[in-house]
Structure 1
Amino acid sequence: MVAPGADLEAQYQHNLRVGKLATDTSAAAARLRAALKEATNPVKRAALNSIDARLLTPPVRYSPPGLDTHVNYLRSQTADFDGKIGNHPEERYAELRAAIDAIVGELDAALGPAKG
């Protein structure tokens, strides 16, 4: 039997992790947008455009969602829910965390480590 409040504690911990993921995703998106505005080197621009295509959702109706949209959707799944977090949100968090970490690694390779 699960201890009273254990489900809520697990939900809280999950939401903290997803909140950090959303913050990291927003920071990567802001860093990418700023770099794209300044990029003049064609090789660097190509690398940044590749990241853009995966990270950001294009502003075109019915376009495929980028990782930013997937992260925000995951956050919305459990933000206003009080109960046990199922396996799917936990698995999806792990997938998205790995994808965002890889994107940040690519940004670091293209731009150097983030300051801050």
Structure 2
Amino acid sequence: MRKFSWRRGVIKPTTREYKAGDIVIFQAITIHPMDTGFQKDKHSGQVKPRFFVETLKIFYNDKEVCSFDFEVSSSPNPKVKFPLRIKGPGVVKALWEDNIGNKFEKSTKISPK
């Protein structure tokens, strides 16, 4: 299993001012290479194995509210924007998983005005 330290990511609202009941656009960004399985390593000449973010799940107060499936053709460092109706204070969490089973999560606390 290929291990890669891609533990950099963020989930955040695109606006600072919002209140309970508003629909807020959030973005989830991660730093992750995307290898298609067709490129050769410059040093060894070996074909690099496929390596890409496969799923992204979004949770609001521990309830899954949406998910995204990616394929090998996705760009490196994928960024996703999505709407979310804010019902009150809580935590929005993003959980990424790549095609070889590595998992990573980030969360942000939200406090509507």
Structure with a larger share of its residues in helix: 1
Tell me the TM-score normalised to structure 1 length. Answer: 0.28
Structure with a larger share of its residues in strand: 2
Tell me the TM-score normalised to structure 2 length. Answer: 0.28
